[in-house]
Amino acid sequence: MARNGHRYRYWNPMHLIGHIKPNGIHSSVFDVTFWCTKVDTVCSTSHTEQRKRKHSIAFLFFLILQPCYISTGVSNFDADKNKTYIDTLSPYPTAFSSNTSKKYFLTKLGLQKDYPCPVVAGTDYFRVGSDGSCSTPNCNGILPVGSTARFRYVLINPANKTVVAESLWSNNITLYPLKDPESIDNGFAGRSASMIVITSILCSFLALLLLLLLIMLIYVLCCREEKQEIQVPGSVRMYDTHNLKDPSPYVNRAYEDEPQRPTATSPIRLKSYTDYDLKKPATEL
Amino acid sequence: MADGKGTTCLMVILILGNIFGAAAGLALCALAIWVAVDEYKLYPISGVSGKDDIFAGAWIAIFTGFAFFCMCVFGILAAAMKSRALMLTYLILMLIIYIFECASCITAVTHRDYLVGNSNLVKKQMLKYYAADGDSGSRITLTWNKVMKEVECCGTDGPVDWIEYNSTFREMYGTDYPWPTHCCKRKNNYEVVNVEACKNGQNTTMFTKGCFNHIESVFSRYTWAISWYGFAVLMFMFWLLILAMVYYLIL
């Protein structure tokens, strides 16, 4: 709870949390990013305070394990906050190491001018955990995976390290649990409609084609009859020369003057030409 | 010969059909060459996973397309010469090529479903192989870097993939960079606009859409080229072959 009215108003973490963007990209697995609101106001206000009181700003981080130990870290801090040398009571390396550790830690103690609030395009933020896995007592280390956390700012008297002023608690922030990529099931993804259409139609048409070709071959080899015929039955006047490439009727000129087809009543009469000369008149035999 | 006029009519139809078929076969060959060349350079994504038969279908289609072209030219000859032996040869060879082209179409479309039916396979591969050592790792890393830079995207479904799942990238480089710097916007001289803001997820300084849409659309484009166009060619060839069989019967 802020002690001195409006001077600490901008440290109200509700303002800080209010700038967390709903698309959630800020919340990564090990870090919680939240936004310094109006940081120059914050920083200049506290700068004024510092000149008066030479206090350090510490950023305090709590961890609450869920669901049963929801108030572990909070209650531990509340129990400790009136003691001196609070920055050494729960150093970062031991803060989460076992079930009995205090589950809170202080980080980034320092004067305002050392406080890292980089200004980027109008939003200002402090990134918890940017030191990675570190081992100094008050380093900005990463949080346990998948945990829920709250945080607040505190103002500490540099002389005896007691808590002078503090902001409100933030809301609970749940970090992403880290999933194993082997758990992604990349098996059967389902068949698309086009695959079914193409496969079924092509297979059936291919079968049809094979069947038709087989039937055609069997028909040609076994069942086909010769269709070659003399065009005029009983006549030798005109007959097919059986030439496969160029079938054409051949007219036998010995019977040119025969005007009609021979029948039983008018049989073929053979004629003889003298000297085999077709121009001379013929005699019937 | 019986039915001379009908034979001639069918011969003309067959010759025209074969001319069209030759053109279609040549176009299939050219399209399959385009797919095999892979202008989008996404082959490693399918190659590393072992499901690269879209490209196998493309290679088969190159050969069957060219074979269709040659056989259709032969078919023009066989029809014009009214030769039964040649027509029979034409029919049998065309059937063999038909079978191979069917195989190409079906393979391409089936493997497309395996690969990009949903984003799981691509995502798992990205998490496992990006920034990994070895040949597969380096190929996947180069491919993803190229895609993220050109398409302006990050991760498979979004940058959240990098923080939701453990990955080789996280194990190698720790948690300081939640996602690769290729997810960050860059200036024209290739410098990152703002590394700190990108690390924090500021969406004006990084790409927030996923790359899967682009990858899926590229593989689908390749597949539709091979399978649907091959399907169209085969439908045409089916009727051409039926006509050729009829022609053979009346020859």
Owning domain of residue A127: 31-42+52-178
Q: Which of A:123-182 have CB within 8 Å of B?
A: 123, 125, 127, 129-130, 132, 142, 176, 178-182
Say yes or no: B123 and B109 in one domain. Answer: no
Closest partner CB to A194 (pick from B1, B109, B234): B109
Residue A202 lies in a domain: no
Q: State the complex-level ipTM.
A: 0.89
CA atoms within 13 A on the CB side of A103: 21
CA dist B233 and B236 (Å) reads 5
Q: Is there a contact between B123 and B157 (Cβ–Cβ < 8 Å)? A: yes
Question: What pLDDT is recorded for position A228?
Answer: 55
Residue A8 lies in a domain: no
CA dist A232 and B134 (Å) reads 87
Q: Does A279 touch chain B (CB under 8 A)?
A: no
Residue A174 lies in a domain: yes
Residues 6+ apart with CB under 8 A from B77: B86
CA distance to partner chain A, nearest, from residue B176 (Å): 6
Q: Does B186 touch chain A (CB under 8 A)?
A: no
Residue A62 lies in a domain: yes
Closest partner CB to A209 (pick from B95, B160, B167): B95
pTM check: above 0.80: no
Contacts of B105 in chain A (CB under 8 A): 198, 202
Relative to beta strand A56-64, strand A104-110 is: antiparallel
User: What pLDDT, in 10s, does the model give residues A222-245?
Assistant: 877 655 554 555 555 566 666 667
Residues 6+ apart with CB under 8 A from B31: B61, B65, B225, B226, B229
Say yes or no: B204 and B224 in one domain. Answer: no
Say yes or no: B105 and B133 in one domain. Answer: no
Reading chain B (251 residues) residue by residue, the pLDDT tens digits are: 456 788 899 999 999 999 999 999 999 999 999 999 999 999 999 999 888 999 999 999 999 999 999 999 999 999 999 999 999 999 999 999 999 999 999 999 999 999 999 899 999 999 999 999 999 999 999 999 999 999 999 999 999 999 899 999 999 988 888 999 999 999 999 899 888 888 888 888 899 999 999 999 999 999 999 999 999 999 999 999 999 999 999 98
Return the ∠ at Cα B16 (arms to B15 and B18), rounded to 5°.
65
**Which among A202, A218, A230, A243 is the top mutation candidate for probing chain B, defined by the most B β-carbons within 10 Å of its own β-carbon?**
A202
Residue B244 lies in a domain: yes
Residue B197 lies in a domain: yes
Say yes or no: B162 and B43 in one domain. Answer: no
- Residue A159: how many other CB atoms lie within 10 Å: 9
Residue A109 lies in a domain: yes
Closest partner CB to A181 (pick from B166, B174, B231): B166
Say yes or no: B20 and B60 in one domain. Answer: yes
Residue A57 lies in a domain: yes
Q: Based on the structure, what is the number of domains in chain B?
A: 2
Contacts of B114 in chain A (CB under 8 A): 189
Q: Based on the structure, what is the number of domains in chain A?
A: 1
CA dist B149 and B181 (Å) reads 10
Owning domain of residue B24: 2-118+220-250
Question: What pLDDT is recorded for position B120?
Answer: 92
- Residue A284: how many other CB atoms lie within 10 Å: 7
Say yes or no: B132 and B200 in one domain. Answer: yes
CA dist B219 and B226 (Å) reads 11
- Residue B157: how many other CB atoms lie within 10 Å: 17
Residue B22 lies in a domain: yes
CA dist B140 and A86 (Å) reads 50
CB contact under 8 A, A33 and B201: yes
Say yes or no: B227 and B193 in one domain. Answer: no
Q: Which of B:2-31 have CB within 8 Å of A?
A: 2
Q: Does A213 touch chain B (CB under 8 A)?
A: yes
Say yes or no: B158 and B123 in one domain. Answer: yes
CB contact under 8 A, B178 and A192: no
Say yes or no: B123 and B240 in one domain. Answer: no
Say yes or no: B41 and B106 in one domain. Answer: yes
User: What pLDDT, in 10s, does the model give residues B38-97?
Assistant: 999 999 999 998 889 999 999 999 999 999 999 999 999 999 999 999 999 999 999 999
CA distance to partner chain A, nearest, from residue B61 (Å): 15
Whether a cis peptide bond, with omega within 30° of 0, leads into A181 is no
CA distance to partner chain B, nearest, from residue A278 (Å): 32
Residue B204 lies in a domain: yes
First to last CA, chain B: 8
Residue A271 lies in a domain: no
Residue A141 lies in a domain: yes
Closest partner CB to B165 (pick from A181, A185, A192): A181
A155, pLDDT greater than 70: yes
Say yes or no: B20 and B53 in one domain. Answer: yes
Say yes or no: B161 and B231 in one domain. Answer: no
Can you give the CATH number for the domain in which B170 is found? 1.10.1450
Residue B215 lies in a domain: no
Closest partner CB to A25 (pick from B99, B159, B241): B159
Residue B214 lies in a domain: no
Strand intervals (E) in chain A: 33-36, 56-64, 104-110, 119-120, 123-127, 148-156, 163-166, 173-174, 238-240, 249-251, 271-272, 283-284
Contacts of B120 in chain A (CB under 8 A): 184-186, 189
